[in-house]
Amino acid sequence: MTLHIIPDWHAYQRRLPEFNDTVHQVQLFLSQGQAVALVVVDYLPNLRQILFHGQIESAQIWSAYDVLQRVQLKYDSPIALMDIDWPDAAEFIEMSDRVVVRVAKKHYATVWLDQVTHARYDRIDLFEAGERVQELILDDRGFISCATTLDNHGRATRRDYLTPSGAVAVQEDCLTGAVTTQQSWTPQTTFKNMAELIAEVVAYHVHDLPDEDTLIIAQSQTAIFLVNKVAPKQAIILSYQTQRTVPQLEQELLLQISGTVDFAVVDTQQQFETINSQFDEQTAVAVIPPYATTALPVQTPAPITTVYWYAPEIDNEVFDAMRALMLAYPKWLLLIETTQDHRAFDDLILLDSQQAVNVHGLVDEHSQKAHQARYQFLSQQDEASRLRYLSNARLLMDLTPAPEQFLQTAAISHDVPQINRIETPYVKPNQNGQIIQNSNQLQEILVSYLTGRYNQQAVRETSQAIGANYQDDMLWIKWQQVFNQIKQRKASGK
């Protein structure tokens, strides 16, 4: 049996997926020797970078846009600046993130470096009379993949998807949505929109797959549309992840699965309880986390007492409690991962630094700067950065209404105690962390964990016991149970 996985990667044309359930599912399945085929329905000219970043290059790949654009190229081969035919006497002005091309002292084009590596070009803007008139997207296999024409107001009017030789394979009217194409696999030449065309080519592909194979589809509104349009004969598992479902719920969009879906997999118990009302009684659902824990050797506690505080929005009451502790314990380091503007908090830290004393009990310039430096505000971090920070942390603090699952998994792997407001399977109170009811409890608990008054062995043993339930082999068993239930239901005719 091959697992055919349809990811929801439409947002990753110019960046890499992080904390994505599909990436981690593919990693898991490949690690267990399972045959995996990615069915890519999104336009992703940087797909090779995504696969490399996720360490999932060994998965088979079928791409809807490759079929439509008649692309058979497989390997990464970035375009160099001189691979492009430029007008005679073109001059190139290199900048940190782009190259400006001038012809006859006029702005002719801007060639942009990609936002991830800044080592390859991914798009070109063409100009006439100082106005941007066309955008060219470069495929990471070495050709211009898409050309979008813009009107005088910078609005897209036409989008051409190109073959590697430069011929137009698909033309999209950006004003009406109508699509024109000529394909060998269908006599139809016009479609209402790109979604209809993608559904048609996916149906063509899925029709030839063995009946005993399984489709795992990342839940999204696009996924629901595809399932209803394609109606595959294979078993279908819909994978729900909190970071996708929350925005849908905020827009009051329906998440229910159609009758053609055999099973639903949800990433957390809390998320299951949130969306359970949209499932009917016949829906089979399993909670399977996307992130696996890792059994690491016992580590010596880091010499610096570091607290990792995950706070997309900083709670003023909690921050005030931390200010008092940071003054009382001058060897603590506080890392705050937040998306919030922190200038107001910087002012408070500066104010507190006027009370920060040195080893002689005096306040001076060095003691003030040292105090300020012990607060580090971090922008939203990727997976690798979070793992690096957690490996040196003494404590993870996440007081959000839905604790961040990747951080909790990393804390378990690194035997880092956790403080939350919400109960989750990753924390057992008084063993590897605490569940607090209000901020008044925070100072006492933090002091206990960060001054060595807690039972470090209990934290380690509890973390390892919890982590054993979420290692690769255990997650794989949970998936096998889902596959077996689907077989049993189909055998019984349900």
Q: Where are the beta strands (DSSP E) in 85-150?
A: 91-94, 98-103, 106-113, 121-128, 131-139, 143-150
Token pair of 471, please?
A: 């290692």
What is the domain class of 2-71+193-287 according to CATH?
alpha beta
**Spatial distance between the Cα atoms of 354 and 458, rounded to a whole number of angstroms:** 39
**Spatial distance between the Cα atoms of 5 and 198, rounded to a whole number of angstroms:** 16
Q: Which CATH superfamily is domain 305-468 in?
A: Glycogen Phosphorylase B; (3.40.50.2000)
Q: In what order do the strands lie in the sheet with 433-435?
A: 375-378, 332-337, 305-310, 395-398, 418-420, 433-435
**Spatial distance between the Cα atoms of 352 and 332, rounded to a whole number of angstroms:** 15
Beta bridge partners of 487: none
**Spatial distance between the Cα atoms of 6 and 475, rounded to a whole number of angstroms:** 20
- Exposure of 137 in the CB half-sphere (CA atoms within 13 A): 17
Residue 179: strand, helix, or coil? strand
**Spatial distance between the Cα atoms of 205 and 266, rounded to a whole number of angstroms:** 27
Measuring CA to CA, how many Å separate 188 from each of 59, 122, 143, 204, 450?
31, 32, 27, 13, 67
Q: Using CB atoms within 10 A of its CB, is residue 99 exposed (0-12), middle (13-18) or buried (19+)?
A: middle
Q: Delimit the domains of the chain by residue range.
A: 2-71+193-287, 81-162, 305-468
Beta bridge partners of 5: 38, 216
Q: What is the pLDDT along the chain (494 residues), one digit of tens a residue?
A: 999 999 999 999 888 999 999 999 999 999 999 999 999 999 999 999 999 999 999 999 999 999 999 999 999 999 999 999 999 999 999 999 999 999 999 999 999 999 888 889 999 999 999 999 999 999 999 999 999 999 999 999 999 999 999 999 999 999 999 999 999 999 999 999 999 999 999 999 999 999 999 999 999 999 989 998 998 999 999 999 999 999 999 998 888 766 778 999 999 999 999 888 887 777 789 999 999 999 887 777 667 899 999 999 999 999 999 999 999 999 999 999 999 999 999 999 999 999 999 888 899 999 999 999 999 999 999 999 999 999 999 999 999 999 999 999 999 999 999 999 999 999 999 999 999 988 888 999 999 888 876 788 899 999 999 999 999 999 999 999 999 999 998 888 76
For residue 164, which of 191, 138, 128, 126 has the smallest C-alpha distance?
Answer: 138
pLDDT for 120: 94
pTM: 0.93
**Spatial distance between the Cα atoms of 117 and 50, rounded to a whole number of angstroms:** 12
Beta bridge partners of 144: 138
Indicate the residue type of 434.
Answer: Q
Taking residue 484's Cβ as centre, other Cβ atoms within 10 Å add up to 10
Measuring CA to CA, how many Å separate 294 from each of 53, 183, 387, 467, 472?
19, 47, 11, 7, 8
pLDDT for 439: 84
For residue 371, which of 404, 412, 330, 335 has the smallest C-alpha distance?
Answer: 330
What is residue 415's DSSP assignment?
T
Judge whether 2-71+193-287 and 305-468 match in fold: yes
Phi, psi of 351 (to 5 degrees): -65, -45
| CA dihedral of 460, 466, 471, 474, whole degrees rounded to 10 | 150
Number of H helices and number of E strands within the chain?
Answer: 15, 23
**Spatial distance between the Cα atoms of 141 and 66, rounded to a whole number of angstroms:** 12
DSSP per position, 40-74: E-S--TTHHHHHHHTT-TTSEEEEHHHHHTT----
**Spatial distance between the Cα atoms of 265 and 218, rounded to a whole number of angstroms:** 10
Beta bridge partners of 240: 266
pLDDT for 452: 75
For residue 138, which of 13, 312, 24 has the smallest C-alpha distance?
Answer: 13
Indicate the residue type of 29.
Answer: F
